[in-house]
Amino acid sequence: TVLAAVKLQHSWSQIFTGETITLRCEIQGGEGKVWKYEWTAPNTNSPPTSSEYRISRVSVSHSGDYRCRGSSDYLLTGWSDAFRLTVSSSKPRATLTAQSSVIPAGGSVTLSCSVEGSAGWKFDWFRRDSVSSKAQLMRGNEANRVISVSQGGLYHCRGGRGDPVYYTEDSAPVMIGEC
pLDDT for the residue numbered 13: 83
Instruction: Give the number of C-alpha atoms closer than 13 A to the C-alpha of residue 72, restricted to the C-beta side.
Output: 15
pLDDT for the residue numbered 91: 92
**CA–CA gap between residue 33 and residue 38 (Å, rounded):** 16
- Are residue 8 and residue 65 in the same domain, yes or no? yes
pTM of the model: 0.85
- Are residue 62 and residue 106 in the same domain, yes or no? no
- Are residue 59 and residue 21 in the same domain, yes or no? yes
- Are residue 134 and residue 117 in the same domain, yes or no? yes
Identify the domain containing residue 48 by its residue range: 3-88
**Distance (Å) of CA 162 to CA 63, 92, 166, 167:** 19, 14, 6, 9
> Which of 38, 71, 88 is the C-terminal boundary of a domain?
88
pLDDT for the residue numbered 32: 85
- Are residue 109 and residue 82 in the same domain, yes or no? no
Full pLDDT tens readout for the chain, 179 residues? 899 999 999 888 899 999 999 999 999 987 889 999 999 999 888 889 999 999 999 999 999 999 999 999 889 999 999 999 999 999 999 999 999 999 999 999 999 999 987 789 999 999 999 888 999 999 999 999 999 999 999 999 999 999 999 999 999 999 999 97
**Distance (Å) of CA 74 to CA 34, 36, 38:** 12, 12, 15
- Are residue 145 and residue 166 in the same domain, yes or no? yes
Q: What is the CATH classification number for the domain harbouring 65?
A: 2.60.40.10
> Which of 56, 72, 88 is the C-terminal boundary of a domain?
88
pLDDT for the residue numbered 37: 96
pLDDT for the residue numbered 30: 79
- Are residue 101 and residue 73 in the same domain, yes or no? no
pLDDT for the residue numbered 176: 96
- Are residue 70 and residue 16 in the same domain, yes or no? yes
**CA–CA gap between residue 171 and residue 125 (Å, rounded):** 10
**CA–CA gap between residue 115 and residue 14 (Å, rounded):** 11
> Which of 67, 88, 109 is the C-terminal boundary of a domain?
88
- Are residue 67 and residue 135 in the same domain, yes or no? no
**CA–CA gap between residue 111 and residue 95 (Å, rounded):** 10
pLDDT for the residue numbered 153: 96
- Are residue 153 and residue 168 in the same domain, yes or no? yes
Strand 146-149 relative to strand 109-114, pairing: antiparallel
Residue type for 158, please?
A: R
- Are residue 84 and residue 13 in the same domain, yes or no? yes
- Are residue 20 and residue 83 in the same domain, yes or no? yes
Q: How many domains would you assign to the chain?
A: 2
